[in-house]
Chain A
Amino acid sequence: NAGVTQTPKFRVLKTGQSMTLLCAQDMNHEYMYWYRQDPGMGLRLIHYSVGEGTTAKGEVPDGYNVSRLKKQNFLLGLESAAPSQTSVYFCASSPIVYTGELFFGEGSRLTVL
């Protein structure tokens, strides 16, 4: 039982390059989320999805795009990476009920030079 898997775990980009982070969950959860965490900060929500084919903006969506073509996958894209996007990115999923716990991936550490 893998839970929530993020790939890649580490990546170094140059300013202006693009990349995609993949989040995969095998728990048949409806909701999925992308957060970023900067040193000394809490988790800030970038985008989220409440089901296959749906996405919505979170607290800090600028510079990112997402897609949820399949229920189990939630992709986070950076079209033109900037140094301000250097961060650790966490994906999470949850079932639809309020009591449903959030399951997090191990994180993807991105450095933009």
Chain B
Amino acid sequence: DAKTTQPNSMESNEEEPVHLPCNHSTISGTDYIHWYRQLPSQGPEYVIHGLTSNVNNRMASLAIAEDRKSSTLILHRATLRDAAVYYCIRRGSYIPTFGRGTSLIVHP
């Protein structure tokens, strides 16, 4: 099963860090972990990806567990514009499979 497991929703206050977890216990050794987010009424957009090492970019950080069975997307300072649905997917086959993702609510 290529799907991942994420909490349905999470809440945060503005300017606080947010840690969004993802479980991918059946991941294979060559699968990458990708994160996307979907703002209201828009298509999903790429956030970050990684294989084994932690990754940073201008949008977020990705922490991957040593056994690669889970990962965490870190938004260092949440803003109201970060309110979106965040999807964690495995990327290693032709067919990227999306679950329902985590709906992030950011309070002012």
Contacts and interface: CB of A to CB of B under 8 A. Distances in A.
Interface of A: 4, 31, 33, 35, 40-45, 48, 50, 56, 58-59, 90, 92, 94, 98-107
**Residue among B43, B97, B99 with most chain A CB within 10 A:** B43
Contacts of A98: 30-32, 91-92
A50 B43 contact: no
Contact of B98 (A4, A35, A99): A35
A41 B44 contact: no
Given A98-B31, A102-B46, A48 B99 contact: no
A100 B96 CA distance: 11
5 contacts: A42-B87, A48-B95, A50-B94, A94-B96, A103-B46
Contacts of A107: 41-43
Contacts, number: 57
Given A90-B43, A102-B34, A31 B87 contact: no
Contacts of A99: 32, 49, 91
A5 to B, nearest CB: 11
A101 B100 contact: no
A43 B98 contact: yes
Contacts of B92: 98
A92 B42 CA distance: 13
Which 7 pairs show the lowest CB-CB distances between chains A and B?
Answer: A104-B43, A101-B46, A43-B98, A42-B100, A42-B98, A104-B44, A42-B99
Contacts of B45: 104
B68 to A, nearest CB: 14
